[in-house]
Chain A
Amino acid sequence: MSGNMNLTLKVWRQKNVKESGRFETYTAKNISPDMSFLEMLDEVNEDLIKGGKDPIAFDHDCREGICGMCSMYINGRAHGPVKGVTACQLHMRSFVDGDTITIEPWRAAAFPVLRDLVVDRTSFERIQQAGGYVSVNTGSAPDANAIPVPKDNADEAFNSAACIGCGACVAACVNSSAMLFLSAKVSQYALLPQGRVEAKRRVANMLKAHDDAGFGACTNTEACEAECPKGISVTNIGRLNREFAAASISGE
């Protein structure tokens, strides 16, 4: 193959949601620094298959940092050592020959491990279904330019909406709280006139779904922001708290 790096991998292997898992050690040979982290795992998997072993299951799809599918803990950090990138965008030039790399799934009660590095994130779906929308039926919208939106608000809403739903924030949090994810969604709508109408109902319902799904409470450690590959800011959590306080005071 193309490269000359040799690495030792310690990878979490778990057959399914019921069985318990353990670390296994593998070597990754002839790795090129131009490979992405997932391409390195592809190579290891090809060797495992040819050796009659089970390849390592991991989630991935777009491989360009936008679908939010890839999800792994690399050397104790969600998505690995480089700030602001997902595991699929991490390149092997961030490692050196001879490194030992530990790879684990997201760990959180609300994200059960399905196999190896693959976890179940349907708890995120339930949060969104509880209120992550504007109630507008197809066909009933006014002209798009009928309601001007200040550019700063639109840009800020976009920044919050850039969350890819990967779950790194939960994995990085000691409390397994999904508050960064949740607050990003709440903020996007809170900042836009279209979202204001249902603001109170939304924040209350989504918070309830968050707690019901088994995510922990936020104690402001800000580990989430540090590990979020899309730079989602904890100021969103502040905004969510204000929205919630306002909703609680006025009721509905």
Chain B
Amino acid sequence: MNLDSKIPAGPLAEKWDRHKFSCKLVNPSNKRKYDVIIVGTGLAGASAAASLAELGYNVKTFCFQDSPRRAHSIAAQGGINAAKNYRNDGDSVYRLFYDTVKGGDYRAREANVHRLAQVSVNIIDQCVAQGVPFAREYGGLLDNRSFGGAQVSRTFYAKGQTGQQLLLGAYSALNRMVGEGKVQSYTRHEMLELVMVDGQARGIIARDMVTGEIQRHSAHAVVLATGGYGNVFYLSTYARGSNSTAIWRSHKKGAYFGNPCFTQIHPTCIPVSGDHQSKLTLMSESLRNDGRIWVPKQKGDTRKPADIPEDDRDYYLERRYPSFGNLVPRDIASRAAKDMCDKGYGVGKTGLAVYLDFSDAIRRMGEKTVESKYGNLFDMYKQITGDNPYQTPMMIYPAVHYTMGGLWVDYNLMTTIPGLYATGEANFSDHGANRLGASALMQGLADGYFVLPYTIGDYLADIERKPIANDSPEFMEAEKVVKERLSKLLSIKGNKTVHQFHRELGLIMWNHCGMGRNEVGLKEGIEKIRGLRDEFWKNLLVPGSDLELNQNLEKAGRVADFLELGELMMVDALHRNESCGGHFREEYQTPENEALRDDENFAYVAAWEYKGDGQPHQLHKENLVFENVKLTQRSYK
């Protein structure tokens, strides 16, 4: 199949408006005859569900939590970008576009990124109108902060709980539509299979996670807004339930997977403390506005941080990147921290940590101001570590945080399966090889509020309006497959729990496909994953039955999918013989240890096609054409 990105013709700044005009429209009275399934109720899913229902479509939403409001978007802390230029500091749609393409190390589609920057301004308007309580200044107008990779202040925020407030806004819009009967909300339901009829996405198979009932849901289009797959690493900043099942099952039905190896490792997380640990906690990037990162100049310096004088400290980001300092993009900050620790300058019990110090900020602005900006983050840090960051520097280390990869989509956000869309973190997205802070929330809401409502109509307008039967042979077959897989997982009755397998997988991924990758390690990693996968299907122990609330069974299905996806991530990392953004191949670096891109050979999106169990994936390339931005070695010096 030929990859057609469907990027509209015309000058960059006019593409989206022209495209909107050329999209076919569905007559208002016909919209209610179309059913749309939206899997996922985070920012991307809830915003789409509310907007499509307002337009008149019949919407069903699905989420595995007990409420749409608990989607993982709720945990986003720092903020959301928008090119409002309220600060008059030189921001513009074009600058946000430019920063995002550059920040992504030139591996994103120009047209998508420009559209994202354009609609960013509408997002803030929409959220304020919904009653989202953003931070404000004394004059009553909206406040901003700065995030990494930008020299302007364009991040809107609500203390350290921006994701919560934005999601509650989208959730409120969704609730209004549920109340009006236009959305049916299925909570504690997990999508376990995509159903295709005549080569088009026509529904899903879902499991009621309380009763275990397997259900067939049909629709004219299916939207996957199921979030990222970083939990393949076991330890991450994701919620425990975040998973790849919906996108992976759809991938196996024909949706290509874009850039699976592009993973974001976030520089400021609370370091690992022991092997009991079930997740890692992020300390928002916004902390880098006022916190300064350093390590002792002397290896193995055991003095308390407060006793180490200025002259004996190495503020290595400020030293290496004087113009961006502590606000370099995430991939660079993470790698620098790893670099310092690998060289023996790390601090803390394990030596795998660096300091994030607020003493200057407290001296400059006073403890009260620091508290008003970051209070909840400081409290969270104290709760977890037992240390008080008002008195002693935080200790931080990088952790898995976001996946730039995901299902390949065209400009309309449609996957390679007609009628199947992917939005938010679930698609391969607009962030190239590295996402800038505060841009995921922007993208999720852009997709859901302002892009999908236009582009989905263009597809539906050509589809017959009669309801889709949910008892066709295709649905019955998909249901059977799901039931068989569940029975298989339960019937192995081996000796190892699903948590044990997940933990082992995570370790393999972190060691072989983490912050630094190389050919030998990746090849070894692939072998190890295959071995673990074989063992999984022979030695897994899942208690209970499928006709009850069974959290281990849920998890077993997810880990089974991670065990396949993990291998594809390594295959992708192995084929990309260059370093770019979060993908750092140790063989390809500049003399200053920065990522060394190969634009000649790798300026493309790798879109992988599933060819059957045990068969190698087939690579398709979407060449990236840069008409507006000049490709250069990224410099933040």
Contacts and interface: CB of A to CB of B under 8 A. Distances in A.
Contacts of B541: 49-50
B30 to A, nearest CB: 19
Contact of A46 (B133, B139, B497): B497
Contacts of B130: 133-134, 136, 194
Given A36-B278, A64-B75, A66-B75, A134 B142 contact: no
A148 B158 CA distance: 16
Given A125-B185, A144-B125, A2 B275 contact: yes
A105 interface: no
A50 to B, nearest CB: 7
B538 interface: no
B200 to A, nearest CB: 26
Given A42-B278, A161-B165, A189 B131 contact: yes
Contacts of B129: 134, 136, 140-142, 194
A132 B384 CA distance: 33
Interface string A110-152: 0000110010111011001111111111111111110111110
A169 B142 CA distance: 32
B517 to A, nearest CB: 28
Interface string B478-520: 0000000000000000010101100000000000000000000
Contacts of A165: 67, 69-70
Interface string A174-189: 0000000000000011
Interface stretch (B2-10, B309-317, B548-556): B548-556
B21 interface: no
B548 to A, nearest CB: 7
A57 interface: yes
Contact of B543 (A54, A64, A128): A54
A172 interface: no
A162 B497 contact: no
A10 to B, nearest CB: 21
Interface string B94-129: 000000000000000000000000000010111111
B449 interface: yes
A36 to B, nearest CB: 7
B208 to A, nearest CB: 11
Interface stretch (A73-81, A85-93, A215-223, A239-247): A85-93
A32 B541 CA distance: 26
Contacts of B274: 2, 32, 34-35
A135 B548 contact: no
A138 B449 contact: yes
A188 B276 contact: no
Interface SS, A side? loop
Q: Which of A46, A68, A84 has the most CB of B within 10 A?
A: A68
A211 interface: no
B551 to A, nearest CB: 6
Interface in B31-86: 47, 50-51, 54, 65-67, 69-70, 72, 74-75, 84, 86
A108 interface: no
Given A114-B549, A149-B140, A67 B70 contact: yes
Interface in A1-33: 1-3, 15-16, 32
B70 A61 contact: yes
Contacts of A35: 274, 276
Given A2-B274, A138-B450, A69 B543 contact: no
Given A62-B239, A63-B239, A144-B128, A154 B134 contact: yes
Nearest to B128: A144
A38 interface: yes
A225 to B, nearest CB: 18
Interface stretch (B174-182, B253-261, B338-346, B603-611): B174-182
Query: Lowest 6 A-B CB distances belong to which pairs?
Result: A148-B140, A141-B129, A133-B172, A158-B133, A129-B179, A141-B125
30 contacts: A2-B274, A34-B276, A48-B543, A52-B543, A55-B543, A62-B70, A64-B279, A64-B380, A66-B161, A66-B164, A67-B74, A68-B67, A68-B70, A118-B549, A120-B210, A122-B67, A125-B67, A125-B178, A125-B185, A133-B175, A134-B131, A136-B173, A138-B51, A138-B453, A141-B122, A141-B128, A148-B140, A149-B140, A189-B131, A194-B129
Interface of A: 1-3, 15-16, 32, 34-36, 38-39, 42-43, 46, 48-50, 52-55, 57, 59-69, 84-85, 89, 91, 93, 114-115, 118, 120-122, 124-125, 128-145, 147-151, 154-155, 157-158, 161-162, 164-165, 188-189, 192, 194-195
Interface of B: 47, 50-51, 54, 65-67, 69-70, 72, 74-75, 84, 86, 122, 124-131, 133-142, 158-159, 161, 164-165, 168, 171-173, 175-176, 178-179, 185, 187, 210, 239-241, 273-279, 281, 379-380, 383-384, 386, 449-450, 453, 495, 497, 499-500, 541, 543-544, 548-549, 551-552
